[in-house]
Structure 1
Amino acid sequence: MENIALIESFSEFKDDKLIDRVTLMAILEDVFRNALKKKYGSDDNFDIIINPDKGDMEIWRNRVVVADGEVEDENQEIALSEAQKIEPDFEVGEDVSEEVKLIDLGRRAILALRQNLISKIHEHDNTNLYKQFKDLIGEIYTAEVHHVRPRVVILIDDEGNEIVLPKEKQIPSDFFRKGDNVRGIIESVELKGNKPQIIMSRTADKFLEKLFEQEIPEVFDGLIMIKNVVRIPGEKAKVAVDSYDDRIDPVGACVGMKGSRIHGIVRELGNENIDVINYTTNLQLYITRALSPAKVSSVKIDEEKKRAEVFLKLEEVSKAIGRGGHNIKLAGLLTGYELDVIREGIAEEEDDVELTEFSDEIDGWVIDEFAKIGLDTARSILNQDVADLVRRTDLEEETILEVIRILKEEFQD
Structure 2
Amino acid sequence: MENLALIESFSEFKDDKMIDRVTLMAILEDVFRNALKKKYGSDDNFDIIINPDKGDLEIWRNRVVVADGEVEDPNEEISLSEARKIEDDFEVGEDVSEEVKLIDLGRRSILALRQNLISKIHEHDNTNIYKQFKELEGDIYTAEVHHIRHRAVILLDDEGNEIILPKEKQIPSDFFRKGDNVRGIIESVELKGNKPAIIMSRASPIFLEKLFEQEIPEVFDGLINVKKVVRIPGEKAKVAVDSYDDRIDPVGACVGMKGSRIHGIVRELGNENIDVINYTNNLNLFITRALSPAKVTSINIDDENKRAEVILKPEEVSKAIGRGGHNIRLAGQLTGYEIDVLREGAEEDVELTEFSDEIEDWIINEFKKIGLDTAKSVLEKDISFLVNGTDLEEETIQEVVNILKEEFEE
TM-score for both structures, normalised by structure 1: 0.91
Structural mapping, 1:61-210, within 5 Å: 61-210=61-210
Structural mapping, 1:317-396, within 5 Å: 317-346=317-346, 348-349=347-348, 352-355=349-352, 374-380=371-377, 384=380, 389=382
8 Å CA contact 1:323, 1:373 repeated in 2: no
Are 2:259 and 1:259 equivalent residues in the alignment?
yes
8 Å CA contact 1:318, 1:373 repeated in 2: no
8 Å CA contact 1:27, 1:121 repeated in 2: yes
- Residue number in structure 2 paired with 1:7: 7
- Residue number in structure 1 paired with 2:231: 231
8 Å CA contact 1:389, 1:400 repeated in 2: no
For residues 125 and 230 of structure 1, what CA distance do their matches in structure 2 show? 37
For residues 131 and 252 of structure 1, what CA distance do their matches in structure 2 show? 39
8 Å CA contact 2:237, 2:274 repeated in 1: yes
Which residue type is aligned with residue 239 of structure 1?
V
TM-score for both structures, normalised by structure 2: 0.91
Which secondary structure does the structure 2 equivalent of 1:248 belong to?
A: coil
For residues 99 and 405 of structure 1, what CA distance do their matches in structure 2 show? 96
For residues 10 and 81 of structure 2, what CA distance do their matches in structure 1 show? 37
1:235-283 CA-to-partner distances (Å, cap 9, x unmatched) read 1000000111111100000000110000000010011000000011111
Which secondary structure does the structure 2 equivalent of 1:274 belong to?
A: strand
Which secondary structure does the structure 1 equivalent of 2:320 belong to?
A: helix
8 Å CA contact 2:329, 2:369 repeated in 1: no
Q: Decide whether aligned partners of structure 1 residues 360 and 146 sit closer, same or farther in structure 2, where only a CA change above 3 A counts.
A: farther
Which secondary structure does the structure 2 equivalent of 1:42 belong to?
A: coil
Q: Decide whether aligned partners of structure 1 residues 139 and 195 sit closer, same or farther in structure 2, where only a CA change above 3 A counts.
A: same
For residues 87 and 289 of structure 1, what CA distance do their matches in structure 2 show? 94
For residues 373 and 248 of structure 2, what CA distance do their matches in structure 1 show? 42
8 Å CA contact 1:18, 1:125 repeated in 2: no
Q: Offset of 1:135 from its aligned partner?
A: 0.4
Q: Offset of 1:191 from its aligned partner?
A: 1.3
Q: Offset of 1:38 from its aligned partner?
A: 1.1
8 Å CA contact 2:3, 2:102 repeated in 1: no
1:38-71 CA-to-partner distances (Å, cap 9, x unmatched) read 1111111110001111111000011112222222
- Residue number in structure 2 paired with 1:273: 273
Which residue type is aligned with residue 293 of structure 1?
P
Q: Offset of 1:303 from its aligned partner?
A: 1.4
Which residue type is aligned with residue 164 of structure 1?
I
For residues 395 and 333 of structure 2, what CA distance do their matches in structure 1 show? 36
Which secondary structure does the structure 2 equivalent of 1:214 belong to?
A: helix
Q: Offset of 1:194 from its aligned partner?
A: 1.1
- Residue number in structure 1 paired with 2:25: 25
- Greater CA deviation, 4-13 or 114-123? 4-13
1:209-254 CA-to-partner distances (Å, cap 9, x unmatched) read 0000000011001110000000010110000001111111000000
Are 2:407 and 1:410 equivalent residues in the alignment?
yes
Superposed CA RMSD in Å reads 2.6
Q: Offset of 1:8 from its aligned partner?
A: 1.9
Which secondary structure does the structure 2 equivalent of 1:262 belong to?
A: helix
Which residue type is aligned with residue 408 of structure 2?
F
Which residue type is aligned with residue 282 of structure 1?
N
Q: Decide whether aligned partners of structure 1 residues 381 and 341 sit closer, same or farther in structure 2, where only a CA change above 3 A counts.
A: closer
For residues 403 and 77 of structure 2, what CA distance do their matches in structure 1 show? 105
8 Å CA contact 1:324, 1:372 repeated in 2: no
Identity %: 85
- Residue number in structure 1 paired with 2:245: 245
Q: Decide whether aligned partners of structure 1 residues 235 and 364 sit closer, same or farther in structure 2, where only a CA change above 3 A counts.
A: farther
Count of aligned positions: 406
Which residue type is aligned with residue 70 of structure 1?
E
**What runs of 5+ residues in structure 1 fail to find an aligned partner?**
none
8 Å CA contact 2:383, 2:398 repeated in 1: no
Which secondary structure does the structure 1 equivalent of 2:261 belong to?
A: coil
Q: Offset of 1:89 from its aligned partner?
A: 2.2
Q: Offset of 1:398 from its aligned partner?
A: 12
Q: Decide whether aligned partners of structure 1 residues 210 and 272 sit closer, same or farther in structure 2, where only a CA change above 3 A counts.
A: same
1:300-329 CA-to-partner distances (Å, cap 9, x unmatched) read 112121111111111111111111111111
For residues 24 and 365 of structure 2, what CA distance do their matches in structure 1 show? 64
Which secondary structure does the structure 1 equivalent of 2:296 belong to?
A: coil
**What runs of 5+ residues in structure 2 fail to find an aligned partner?**
389-393
Which residue type is aligned with residue 62 of structure 2?
N
For residues 27 and 189 of structure 1, what CA distance do their matches in structure 2 show? 25
- Residue number in structure 1 paired with 2:220: 220
Q: Offset of 1:91 from its aligned partner?
A: 2.1
8 Å CA contact 1:147, 1:178 repeated in 2: yes
- Residue number in structure 2 paired with 1:58: 58
Q: Offset of 1:365 from its aligned partner?
A: 11
8 Å CA contact 2:185, 2:200 repeated in 1: yes
Q: Decide whether aligned partners of structure 1 residues 334 and 29 sit closer, same or farther in structure 2, where only a CA change above 3 A counts.
A: same
For residues 400 and 75 of structure 1, what CA distance do their matches in structure 2 show? 86
Which secondary structure does the structure 1 equivalent of 2:49 belong to?
A: strand
Q: Decide whether aligned partners of structure 1 residues 404 and 167 sit closer, same or farther in structure 2, where only a CA change above 3 A counts.
A: closer
8 Å CA contact 2:67, 2:92 repeated in 1: yes
Q: Decide whether aligned partners of structure 1 residues 306 and 362 sit closer, same or farther in structure 2, where only a CA change above 3 A counts.
A: closer
Q: Offset of 1:127 from its aligned partner?
A: 1.1
Which secondary structure does the structure 1 equivalent of 2:177 belong to?
A: coil
Q: Decide whether aligned partners of structure 1 residues 337 and 393 sit closer, same or farther in structure 2, where only a CA change above 3 A counts.
A: closer
Which secondary structure does the structure 2 equivalent of 1:261 belong to?
A: helix
Q: Offset of 1:377 from its aligned partner?
A: 3.1
